[in-house]
Amino acid sequence: MTAAGFAAIVGHVYPAWLGFRGGKGVAVSAGVFGMLAPVATVIAATVFVGTVVVTRFMSAGSIAGALALAVAVVVGNVPAPVVAGAMLAAILVVHRHRDNLSRLVAGTERRIGMRL
């Protein structure tokens, strides 16, 4: 189940029919791990929402939530394949947010509610 879930994440991030240019994998990761590790996903979602509320950066919330999921499955009583899948998903989500991380460090990332 974990391999199929991770394949779904990769398929959304790198869809062949869109030239391997897709999203960042956050929503589909939440869906996959909501089924595989629901308690860890609730913890990750809480971290995501808290980070977004405090910083008003969606990208910061996404990264924090992905990392929180990885930590929560390691700490929780979750089977090893799910832990491995969550770790890989977190790495992929952070990798897909590398441009956002650069903008966060540079201070040019747009906050929620900012005008163009």
Domain boundaries, the chain: 2-106
Rounded-to-integer distance, Cα 103 and Cα 106, Å: 5
Q: What is the DSSP letter of 110?
A: P
Q: What is the pLDDT along the chain (116 residues), one digit of tens a residue?
A: 999 999 999 999 999 999 888 899 999 999 999 999 999 999 999 999 999 999 999 999 999 999 999 999 999 999 999 999 999 999 999 999 999 999 999 999 999 887 66
Q: At a CB cut-off of 8 Å and minimum separation 6, what does 67 contact?
A: 90, 94
Would the pTM count as exceeding 0.75? Answer: yes
38: Cβ contacts below 8 Å, ≥ 6 apart:
none
